[in-house]
Chain A
Amino acid sequence: MVVPSLKLQDLIEEIRGAKTQAQEREVIQKECAHIRASFRDGDPVHRHRQLAKLLYVHMLGYPAHFGQMECLKLIASSRFTDKRVGYLGAMLLLDERHDAHLLITNSIKNDLSQGIQPVQGLALCTLSTMGSAEMCRDLAPEVEKLLLQPSPYVRKKAILTAVHMIRKVPELSSVFLPPCAQLLHERHHGILLGTITLITELCERSPAALRHFRKVVPQLVHILRTLVTMGYSTEHSISGVSDPFLQVQILRLLRILGRNHEESSETMNDLLAQVATNTDTSRNAGNAVLFETVLTIMDIRSAAGLRVLAVNILGRFLLNSDRNIRYVALTSLLRLVQSDHSAVQRHRPTVVECLRETDASLSRRALELSLALVNSSNVRAMMQELQAFLESCPPDLRADCASGILLAAERFAPTKRWHIDTILHVLTTAGTHVRDDAVANLTQLIGGAQELHAYSVRRLYNALAEDISQQPLVQVAAWCIGEYGDLLLAGNCEEIEPLQVDEEEVLALLEKVLQSHMSLPATRGYALTALMKLSTRLCGDNNRIRQVVSIYGSCLDVELQQRAVEYDTLFRKYDHMRAAILEKMPLVERDGPQADEEAKESKEAAQLSEAAPVPTEPQASQLLDLLDLLDGASGDVQHPPHLDPSPGGALVHLLDLPCVPPPPAPIPDLKVFEREGVQLNLSFIRPPENPALLLITITATNFSEGDVTHFICQAAVPKLFRILNPNKAPLRLKLRLTYDHFHQSVQEIFEVNNLPVESWQ
């Protein structure tokens, strides 16, 4: 039974008539079954109709791969309608990942050489969209011949096909380079447009081509000038601007040619000024050309006056009411801010205005630009604006805004107090969106500002009392209260109004943090440690604290449990040491440039209670400040003069050895000290991503039964090894140990000379 096949229009009607998705699917599946049957039967007359329907269905998103072979048959037929649908199908259905596409190479070759223009046009169109590398290589000679044909219809298409071929097979650039110069002399805009694109593509791919084409700059300038000064011509003008598309392309090519090249840039200067001043900016087309001109001026080596003109044009764009124009202006200003900072600063007020836009694209651009414009003179005003923005901005911009504000505050803070205030404000408004190291930075900042301890702890306490859900804020507040609890309770601080804070309130608050289900485990850790520290700072008795600590000794979280048990032990067995251990922390140094690492001392299992300097605070994890010379803290001595630590004495930097060629072989460990069961080992690692760096880890082990207490290890290297080891001299290390063992005070100083050879080569 032969059912007359539906025409495409009828099919579309039917699909439109379907009320639900399921109905539509039904209709389409039925039709696809017909189409498949018809393809199997090989009906040549209606094939094109079937394929057209298949393509429509494909556009709606249904699979249509069984039509691929039909495309081939249709292309090979001699009727134009067949060829038309066949080529369209090839463009839409075939692609280079399926082998079937190579089969049309032959058909395309025939069509291209036969000289029937529409057919050639079709073939070129399809070739340029889905031609793979092999096809391009095969068909390159055909396309080249077509480049020089008299008919512009085919030529313009051939040129753009050449562009595609060059993208796929870069070696073909040599084939297509010679005709370009000649093509530039054409008057036909389609050909010119294509040629300019071709030249742009060639120049982007090879510097040799770039040099070659610098010769044509005068000609390009001439073409552009005629375009601009030509009167109103109906052929190509759009809203009064003659062929803006060609103008934009030429400007882009000029930009590429003039970059970093004085001579070409000079040739272009006059022309660019002329275009910039003469273009009619009342319509979008003119603005498009102007925008491209500005970009070009900025990129080439233009005269200073021209640059100022460009920035002013951008400023005018910013004030335009059309949002599109403001968007492009903001984007280009962002590109400019690195090179012409002062010029862009003049437009700062307008940029800040744009922050208040409701449009998401605009406000994102305005945010980036505002952050780039912050400098030491306008930091306070800008910060106010940015903080206001942070409160009202959409959630996807919050993280960027918060980190931007924090970075800017870090670079340009006028006073420490302002800095602390700013960070505090960011944490309260957008606490969940800040980066992880914000907590570390803030604690370090507060720690360093001695005079502001009372102020910060007071403010943090107030903030914490209001809201314990923002984790970074809670962490910082807990740390501060722990450290400076005594200042909080003393109650006198000139900068904010006096507040009587009760000991019990403070403890209650910290307990609330501990118990809240909103607190992360890390936050709980902070709170527990803070409670412990308060046990030495507060004058009341410590029963409440001891209770809390012992409760958490059976907590399910392993980290908290370990801490609680240790603290409990501290209360019970080592009460005399509690004050010393829980003293105020010394200032932690920031992590310097990546080249430095320090010797880490590994902690023992719980039996030994060494005077471990710092319980595991996350921010100190990078910077275990063991080797800080705690002046008199442990009751130990001044360092003997012949130990020459690095100046300042705070940290000893281990070495950054010059680049060692790969691969890094593992370096054997070295035992450097042994006495009565106490042993010290050095192990060396080179991190694979940075082979010039050497990490030395000192491991101290106690094999004896006696306790080792008050263990301190200091390492130093002679000054000349501090940064580099240019002479590849043998590495030397001096170690100094002091500890109590078997109730005797032991002090050892020795030099390590026999470091394995691989460590310093």
Chain B
Amino acid sequence: MIKFFLMVNKQGQTRLSKYYEHADINKRTLLETEVIKSCLSRSNEQCSFIEYKDFKLIYRQYAALFIVVGVNDTENEMAIYEFIHNFVEVLDEYFSRVSELDIMFNLDKVHIILDEMVLNGCIVETNRARILAPLLILDKMSES
């Protein structure tokens, strides 16, 4: 089960955070700083899986943005690794070559996309067309 999904940039600023298990707000900030610290201290050749307290962290770096997913023991790490890439590809298609600014200014849309893909910590949809369909309809409606 996925416990949390974070997008944090190199300076430690959170761009997206979604928790699938309740956590206090001060614990959240602490968690985010510690997580980004452990990810930043690793070099490119090191493996993408870290053990942190009772989670496993799987992270991928895209330019200056780190996407970190925390899971519990039962998940297959490599599948989640693949899932992160899938998510980024979906974002790429929607925003046409997504950048960090796109994510910052369209945070609500990114949340919608993430909600389409992950529900309650389980992966529900990975097909790009199906994920983006409701969002495109929504956009058309708000334009008209």
Question: B-contacting residues of A (Cβ < 8 Å)?
Answer: 8-9, 12, 16, 52, 56, 58-61, 63, 80-81, 84-85, 88, 95-97, 118, 121, 124-125, 128-130, 153, 156-157, 160-161, 163-164, 189-190, 193-194, 197, 235-236, 238, 243-245, 248, 252, 284-285, 287-288, 291-292, 295, 323-328, 358-362, 364
Contacts and interface: CB of A to CB of B under 8 A. Distances in A.
B138 A324 contact: no
Contact of A324 (B42, B47, B124): B47
A72 to B, nearest CB: 18
Contacts of A157: 119, 124
Contacts of A244: 79, 82
A244 B80 CA distance: 11
B48 A284 contact: no
Interface of B: 13-14, 16-17, 20, 22, 25, 28-29, 42, 45-51, 74, 76-79, 81-83, 86, 104-105, 107-108, 111-112, 115, 119-120, 122-127, 129-130, 134, 137-138, 141-142
B78 A118 contact: no
B108 A9 contact: no
A326 B47 contact: yes
Contacts of A325: 78
B127 A190 contact: yes
B51 A288 contact: no
B104 A236 contact: no
Given A190-B125, A359-B47, A63 B82 contact: no
Nearest to A196: B122
21 contacts: A8-B108, A12-B105, A56-B107, A59-B16, A160-B122, A190-B125, A193-B123, A236-B127, A238-B86, A245-B82, A288-B79, A292-B79, A324-B77, A325-B78, A327-B47, A359-B42, A359-B45, A360-B46, A361-B46, A362-B46, A364-B51
A26 B45 CA distance: 41
A323 B82 contact: no
Given A189-B127, A238-B82, A160 B119 contact: yes
Contact of A96 (B22, B25, B48): B22
Nearest to A157: B119
Contact of B126 (A8, A81, A236, A252): A236
A160 B46 contact: no
Contact of A12 (B74, B104, B112, B127): B104
Nearest to B47: A323
Given A160-B120, A324-B78, 12 more contacts: A9-B105, A63-B25, A121-B134, A128-B119, A161-B119, A190-B124, A193-B125, A245-B82, A248-B76, A328-B77, A359-B46, A361-B49
Contacts of A118: 134, 137-138
A361 B42 CA distance: 10
What are the 4 tightest A-B residue pairs by CB atom distance, in nearest-first order? A288-B78, A323-B47, A128-B120, A160-B119
Contacts of A291: 76, 78
Nearest to A88: B111
B79 A245 contact: yes
Nearest to A117: B134
Given A59-B14, A328-B77, A194 B124 contact: yes
Nearest to B129: A235
Nearest to A130: B22
A292 B29 CA distance: 33
B76 A358 contact: no
A127 to B, nearest CB: 9
Contacts of B112: 84
Most A Cβ at <10 Å: residue of B50, B130, B134: B130
B45 A323 contact: yes
B143 to A, nearest CB: 13
Contact of B47 (A129, A245, A248, A362): A362
Contact of A284 (B22, B82, B123): B82
A104 B126 CA distance: 30
B29 A61 contact: yes
Contacts of A52: 108
A359 B42 CA distance: 8
Nearest to B134: A118
Contacts of A288: 76, 78-79, 81-82
A323 B123 CA distance: 25
Contacts of A243: 126
A572 B25 CA distance: 70
Contacts of A164: 120
